[in-house]
Amino acid sequence: MNDYFISANDFDAFVSKMASERNVIGPVAKKTKFVYGKIQTNKDLRLDFDVTILPPKKVFTPTCQTLVTFDGSKFEGAVDKQPVVLFGVHFYDIKGLDMTDLLFSENNRDENYMAKRKAATVIGSSVQNVSKRAFWGSVGANVAPKGHDGFITKIGAGYHYQSLTQKGEALVGYGNFKPATEGQAEEARTVNVSMMSKCPEALKHSSEAIAKKVRDSFKNQELWANLSEDCFSCGSCNTTCPTCYCFDVQDKWNLNQVSGMRNRYWDSCLTEDFAKVSLGAGAEENFRETRGERFRHRFMRKAAYLNEKLGGPACVGCGRCSAACTADIADPVNVIKKIMEV
C-alpha cells in the first residue's frame, strides 16, 4: 500500500495514457446524468459525477449477458476474462461490489461474473458531488469498503492516490505520480471523512435496530399493503440497486434454428411474475402474488435477511431506488422511518 500525489495536469495525461493502453471503464456523462462507459481520453472521465444510473456491477454482470453459445449439440461457455480497469467508483458502490463478489462466489460459484471480476482493477474515487437522494452517510457504518485495488481522492492541488494491491500499484506507471506528503495524505482523509455528513437524507436508527423491527413487522399485512399502495411493480428499485443480483435465463435461437445463445437478464422481485413457478402439468403458482408481499420481500432482503452474511444491510445508501421510483415510495429512508414508527 503506497500513497501518491499527482497534479491536476499530470492526472489528465495519466488518464489518457492509461486509456490508450488499457480497457478503462469509468463514469461518463449521458445528457444530464452519468453512466459507466468506455474512457477514451481524460475528457471522458467525469469524476465529478454524483451517481450513475446503473451501479458498476453491470461491468461484471451486464444487464444482458451471454452465458453459453451453442451450435447444434456443441456448446461453449462465454466466460469473459478480458482485463478491465474500472476507474472512479464511489465508496458506497465499492461496498456494493464487495457484496456481489461474495454473493456470486459462494455456493455455486458464478464464473461469468467472477472471471470478469478477477480480471478487473477497481479504483475508487472520492465523492465530489452528492446525489439528491443519497443516504450513504448513515447506512451500514460497520461495513468498510473493501475489495478495490486503489482509491483516488481529489484534493486542493491535484489528486491523492492510494494503491492497495499490486494491480492498483501497476497503474502508477502510466502517470507522473510522486510519493504523497503526510499533509496530502491527511488532506485526502479529511476530504473523505467530511463528505460522510453531506447526504441530504439519513437513517435515524442502527442497522441492528432496523433489521429487528423489519423482521418483526413481517406479519403486519396492513403496513405492507399501505406502503406499497402506489407500487407499479415496475422493478426500478431492483434494476438500479447495486446489491440486487437475481437474473432470468432465456434461450435465443439464430434464424437457422440450429445455433444460438443462452442469455441472462437482470430480473427483479418487485415484478408480478418473478415468483411465478411451475407446479407441473401446466399449473403454476405465484408465491408473492400481491404488491405488498413483493414490497415486503425487498425490505426483508435489503434490511434483514442478508445482514449476517454481509456483516450489515444489503443496502449501501446510494439512493438510486429512491430516485428511480416514479411513485416515490421506494426510498428506504422514508419506508424504514414508517416501519420504525409502527
Partner 1 sequence: MSKPKVAFFDFTCCEGCQIELTNYGDSAFLELLNHIEIVEFREAMTEKADHIDIAFVEGSFSREEDRARLEKIRQRASIVIAYGSCATSGGINAMKNDTNDYKQNVYGKDANMPHLDSQIALPVSAAIKVDYNVHGCPMDKYELLDIVSHLLHGKTPVIPNYPVCVECKRRETICRYDVGDHCMGQVARSGCGAPCPADGIPCEACRGFVDSPNEVALKKVLKEKGKLPERWAERKSKMFTANHRSDAKKLGV
Which amino acid makes up residue 301?
R
Helix locations, the chain, DSSP H:
8-21, 91-105, 111-118, 166-170, 182-195, 207-216, 221-227, 236-239, 291-300, 307-310, 320-324, 332-341
Give, as ranges, the residues between 58 and 87 that touch partner 1 (CB under 8 A).
Answer: 63-64
Nearer to partner 1 (CB atom), residue 186 or residue 328: 328
Residue 255 phi/psi, 5-degree rounding, is: -55, -35
Among 23, 265, 300, 337, binds partner 1 (CB under 8 A): 265
Minimal distance in Å, beta carbon 77 to partner 1? 21
Nearer to partner 1 (CB atom), residue 106 or residue 230: 230
Among 266, 301, 313, 315, binds partner 1 (CB under 8 A): 266
Candidates 15-23, 202-210, 211-219, 261-269: pick the segment binding partner 1 (CB under 8 A).
261-269
Minimal distance in Å, beta carbon 324 to partner 1? 7
Give, as ranges, the residues between 206 and 245 that touch partner 1 (CB under 8 A).
Answer: 229-236, 239-240
124 neighbors 150 (Cβ within 8 angstroms) = yes
Residue 53 binds partner 1 (CB under 8 A): yes
- The mark string for 289-328 relative to partner 1 (x by CB under 8 A, - otherwise) is --x-------------------------------xx-xxx
Candidates 12-20, 156-164, 256-264, 299-307: pick the segment binding partner 1 (CB under 8 A).
256-264
For residues 137 and 195, give the distance between their C-alpha atoms in angstroms, rounded to a whole number: 8
Q: How many residues does the chain have?
A: 342
For residues 121 and 49, give the distance between their C-alpha atoms in angstroms, rounded to a whole number: 20
Residue 21 phi/psi, 5-degree rounding, is: -110, -20
Residue 9 binds partner 1 (CB under 8 A): no
Instruction: Give the Cβ contact number of residue 231 at 10 Å.
Output: 19
Among 193, 255, 281, 283, binds partner 1 (CB under 8 A): 255
Minimal distance in Å, beta carbon 256 to partner 1? 7
In the DSSP assignment, the letter for residue 181 is P
Minimal distance in Å, beta carbon 194 to partner 1? 29
Residue 257 binds partner 1 (CB under 8 A): yes
Instruction: Give the Cβ contact number of residue 142 at 10 Å.
Output: 10
Which amino acid makes up residue 17?
K
Minimal distance in Å, beta carbon 12 to partner 1? 26
Minimal distance in Å, beta carbon 224 to partner 1? 15
For the chain, report the end-to-end CA distance as a whole number of angstroms.
Answer: 47
- The mark string for 13-52 relative to partner 1 (x by CB under 8 A, - otherwise) is -----------------xxxx-x-----------------
User: Chain centroid to CA 8: how far?
Assistant: 28
Among positive and negative, which fits the CA dihedral 294, 296, 298, 304? Answer: negative
Minimal distance in Å, beta carbon 269 to partner 1? 11
Burial of 284 (0-12, 13-18, 19+ CB in 10 A): exposed
List of residues contacting partner 1 (CB under 8 A): 30-33, 35, 53-54, 63-64, 229-236, 239-240, 250-253, 255-257, 260, 265-266, 268, 271-273, 291, 323-324, 326-328
